[in-house]
Amino acid sequence: MGDNLIALKLTYNELEQMLNDGQKHLAETYNKKFGTNLLVTRSPINDDVGRLFGGVHAAYDITTRTETEEAS
């Protein structure tokens, strides 16, 4: 599994967007270093009274899906 992990740097603007609106955000991006297409999600975590507590950021390798869509 370690070979599939890719470190991503979030820009301040990307983080600020989630902090300001408290909503989940999705973005597709291409990682030049690894040659992969990624679907990146940013989701807020709220405490039991609804205050923003933190966030979860995940990246999914969608290279195969993207290549299939481009081929059709």
Q: What is the pLDDT of residue 1?
A: 39
Segments of the chain with pLDDT less than 50: 1-3
Task: Give the three-class secondary structure for 35.
Answer: coil
Q: What is the pLDDT of residue 7?
A: 54
Structural domain harbouring 50: 2-71
pTM for this prediction: 0.68
The pair of three-digit structure tokens given for residue 49, joined into one six-digit string? 């009274």
Distance (Å) of CA 21 to CA 16, 24, 29, 44: 9, 9, 22, 9
Task: Name the domain count of the chain.
Answer: 1
| CATH for 49 | 3.30.450.20
